[in-house]
Structure 1
Amino acid sequence: MAPTEQETKMAHPRMAAGALFFDAAGQVLMVEPTYKDYWEIPGGYVEVGESPLHATKREVHEELGITPPIGRLLAVDWAPSEAEGDKVLYLFDGGQLDPEDLARITLQREELRSFAFVSPEQIPQRTIPRLARRILAGVEARDVAAPVYLEHGQRPGNEAA
């Protein structure tokens, strides 16, 4: 059956989800993918029938080999891409990793080279601008205990020229 005119106008975005993890100094855990030239946070695409929270838990376990509790939503970012189309990205609070979790991290070697804790000031040097903005907005949302809505990593009305 062919889609209706209304259905062809509806967005069908890709969804991805990830978590921000912190150390005792408030630095953010970032991972170095084998297939990108910039650093990321743990996470990935949401599969059909899967919630963004469940996808975050699954991806963290697959990528890092740990299953820490994943907390509240920090940010939702609408970030369409010319190459990939509409995307909606969810960012959750992974909390502070304890020494036991850090000792159990086992990287998914086919996807990740390394991981490091990065100060918020260093994040823009490690990753692409829209991801840096999203991470920093998530750090801020965690500090004020309120989630934030973003477009391309920025609060609407704060777009770069």
Structure 2
Amino acid sequence: MRPTPADPEAWNAYLAEGNATQARKRVSADVLLRDEQGRVLLVKPTYKPGWDLPGGMAEANESPDDAARRELKEELGLDVTLHGLLVVDWVPPHGPWDDQLAFIFDGGVLSADRISALSPSDDELGDLHFFTVGHAADALGLRLRHRFQRSLMALTCAIPEFLHDGTPMGWSRLS
């Protein structure tokens, strides 16, 4: 017989058993940051090739927005206010990785004073640079490039978008 909420101890044990068998998702949380000329901040990680958006992986039980703010603080010494969600992308399993939910948030426009103080704050970043939108897209790997381009569209339209591996769903309002 299945326990009920009338027996809280048995009920919680039953729910915990179900929770233990459900899938876990990896979550990444990146931030789109711009300068006053409309250029986009990219960072160069030391642990993988190429350029990336600032941000990183969420820790266990950490919300995506908290992960984005934490990663910017750890890697760039930057405290930001997020201005909204731009993209959620479901990334299928690839290579050694399970599937993932990848978020991109709008971090707004940084002032010249804040930009002049920017530098990598830990050993995970080797460099940072503001790129024009076109050069930023060219500098990103294909999977992230699609997500980045859709985040720019979402920024313009103020409509967050849900993607499947960088591809808009047929019901997207931005397509």
| CA deviations over 1:32-85 (Å, ceiling 9, x no partner) | 111211100111111112110000000001111110212100010000232211
Gap regions ≥5 residues in structure 2: 1-12, 171-175
Alignment of 1:56-71 (within 5 A): 56-71=68-83
Give 1:112 deviation, angstroms: 1.0
Give 1:100 deviation, angstroms: 2.1
Q: Distance in 2 between matches of 1:7 and 1:56?
A: 26
Determine the structure 2 residue equivalent to 1:12: 24
The correspondence for 1:88, drawn from 94, 97, 101, is: 101
Give 1:88 deviation, angstroms: 0.3
The correspondence for 1:100, drawn from 110, 113, 129, is: 113
Give 1:25 deviation, angstroms: 2.0
Alignment of 1:4-153 (within 5 A): 8=21, 10-82=22-94, 83-153=96-166
The alignment yields a C-alpha RMSD, in angstroms, of 2.1
TM superposition score normalised by structure 2: 0.81
Give 1:7 deviation, angstroms: 6.7
Q: How high is the sequence identity, in percent, across the aligned residues?
A: 34
Gap regions ≥5 residues in structure 1: none
Relative contact order: is structure 1 or structure 2 higher (C-alpha 8 Å, sep ≥ 6)?
1
Q: Is the 8 A contact 2:50 2:139 kept in 1?
A: yes
Q: Distance in 1 between matches of 2:110 and 2:143?
A: 25
Bigger radius of gyration: 2
Count of residue correspondences: 156
TM superposition score normalised by structure 1: 0.88
